[in-house]
Amino acid sequence: MSTLKCISPIDGSVFAERETLSPEAARDAVATARNAQKSWAARPLQERIDLVMAGVAAVGAMNDEIVPELAHMMGRPVRYGGEFGGFNERASHMATIASEALADIEVGEDATFKRYIKRVPHGVVLVVAPWNYPYMTAINTVAPALIAGNTVVLKHATQTLLVGERMAKAFKSAGVPTDVFQNLFLDHDTTSELIAGNAFDFVNFTGSVGGGQAMERAAAGTFTGVGTELGGKDPGYVMEDADLDAAVDTLIDGAMFNAGQCCCGIERIYVHESIYSDFVAKAVAVVSSYKLGNPLDEETTMGPMANVRFAEEVRAQIREAVAAGASAHIDPFAEDDGGAYLTPQILTNVTHDMRVMRDESFGPVVGIMKVSSDEEAIQLMNDSEFGLTASLWTKDLDRAITVGDQIETGTVFMNRADYLDPGLCWTGCKNTGRGGGLSVIGYQNLTRPKSYHLKKVTS
């Protein structure tokens, strides 16, 4: 056993700590989930839906405690009110579509045969959730997995140590059996041992590329399905006919909100040369107006990064880019302490030779490049190891579709960015990973097909 410690980015203090389970205790906990699964799946679908949604509501009832807790754990300002809106939206959508998404696929019936395909739950699903949007990313899988008849084991990030505990408490209070939805404190070795030992029937991981690779290595040879949502370097492309003010406001917010710690945050922007200078000037004005500070202060619009080492990586990328010829447009904020509190930055004169335009930054920095054509923008957007989302800005729908069809990405946005629509499949390509959450496809990934070919006895 070891101790997991959440270090608050506000002041570097230990905000919470929990002991991890021993491998034996972890195996026992997962065994209870397996024993509980068949009886859970045997409950009527509507009963499972009602219990899950009651659990979601119970999380909402905790929101006044959750919001400052999140500020302490990962630095998001309290003024933004937490994540319950998106948490509830995603769970509610998956509840609404469950009956249709999980319905039998009727292939045909006549006097001789009845043929159909059922969607049946995998069994025990492991959800490994990240710290940056700890409630919303977890519910993406927890809600549909439970509704589909799986039992769920949640392992949450150490940085947001208390989130899984709160979710499990809320769902238990709503009537979801304890063994059906468990939050476990596990170290990496125990997690890998459980996966390698076929403890789970499906694993959903959201996190780093290295973490996703570790999950796949642990599952190698077990035939356990692994869904991953990993890194991103999401581009925005502003065409000459775009609504300039809307593009600036949305793309810069997409780059800087949550201190830039968003999987689908905007990390690089390409702007048509005819409006490039105006875009940069407006973007600099927006970022210069931010108030960096303690996230518990209602006036703060940007809190610290979740961990000092995350901020150090962003500073390193900025420093290297400037040394290679990039221009930094934001003067250091007085509140920048050289640690977790970091000045947001806009860079121009950047190239794809610089890490800030290639590696995931996951912080409040964005590089802006001038382009002269759709072809140039497409080439640059595709020049990345990642592929999660891309944001296109134009008044021409057909043009956006034509450009979008050529981008290597999981989602194409037009005139918006940094949003997860639960009616659409949340997915990626390249080093962003494989799989798909939410939507009808989310249910397909959390179940397996089972075919029935029934020959009738006729006299």
Give residue-wise pLDDT tens across range 99-116.
Answer: 999 999 999 999 999 999
**pLDDT given at position 430:** 98
Q: What is the pLDDT of residues 274-324, one digit of tens each?
A: 999 999 999 999 999 999 999 999 999 999 999 999 999 999 999 999 999
**Neighbour tally for 149: CB within 10 Å:** 23
pLDDT at residue 211 in the model: 97
Average pLDDT over residues 56-66: 98
Amino acid in the structure at residue 271: V
How far apart CA 69 and CA 63 sit, in angstroms, is 9
Pair of tokens at residue 384:
């990345």
> Contact at 8 Å (CB) between 359 and 385?
no
Neighbours of 1 (CB within 10 A): 11
Mean pLDDT, residues 225-253:
98
CB contact burial 215-226 (16+ within 10 A = b; e otherwise): bbebbeebebbb
Contact indicator for 300, 289 with CB cutoff of 8 Å: no
Q: What is the pLDDT of residue 458?
A: 84
The dihedrals phi and psi of 71, each to the nearest 5 degrees, come to -60, -45
Tell me the three state secondary structure of residue 233.
coil
Q: How far is CA 428 from CA 81, 187, 391, in A?
A: 28, 27, 14
Cα separation of 312 and 205, whole Å?
25
Q: How confident is the model at residue 1 (pLDDT cuts 50, 70, 90)?
A: confident
pLDDT for the residue numbered 270: 99
Please give the average per-residue pLDDT across 205-226, as a whole number: 97
Q: What share of the chain has pLDDT > 70, as a percent?
A: 100
> Which residues participate in catalysis according to the annotation?
229, 263
Cα–Cα dist 33/421, whole Å: 30
One-letter amino acid identity for 242? A
Q: Is the pLDDT of residue 400 over 80?
A: yes
Give the separation between CA 343 and CA 238, rounded to whole angstroms.
25
The total number of residues written for the chain in this structure? 459
CA angle 305, 76, 61 (to 5 degrees): 150
- Assess whether pLDDT exceeds 90 at residue 453: yes
- CA distances (Å), 160 to each of 134, 138, 176, in order? 7, 12, 23
Compute the chain's Rg from CA coordinates.
23
Is it the case that residue 459 has pLDDT exceeding 80? no
Averaged pLDDT for residues 115-119: 98
Does 144 score more than 80 pLDDT?
yes
Nearest alpha-carbon partner for 175 in 265, 314, 52:
52
Q: Across 20-88, where does the E strand assignment appear?
A: none
Instruction: Report domain extents, the chain.
Output: 3-230+432-455, 234-414
Question: Could you tell me which CATH class the domain 234-414 is placed in?
Answer: alpha beta
Cut 0.95: pTM above it = yes
Task: Show Cβ contacts of residue 322 under 8 Å, excluding neighbours closer than 6 positions.
Answer: 328, 347
Q: pLDDT tens digits, residue range 221-238?
A: 999 999 999 999 999 999
In CATH terms, the superfamily for domain 3-230+432-455 is Aldehyde Dehydrogenase; Chain A, domain 1 (3.40.605.10)
Strands 429-430 and 386-387: antiparallel
Q: Look at residues 309, 300, 307, 302 and name the one whose alpha carbon lies nearest to residue 12.
A: 307
pLDDT value for 204: 98
404 pLDDT more than 80: yes
| Residue 441: both structure tokens together | 């496809």
> Which residues have C-beta within 8 Å of that of residue 313, sequence separation ≥ 6?
361, 362, 363
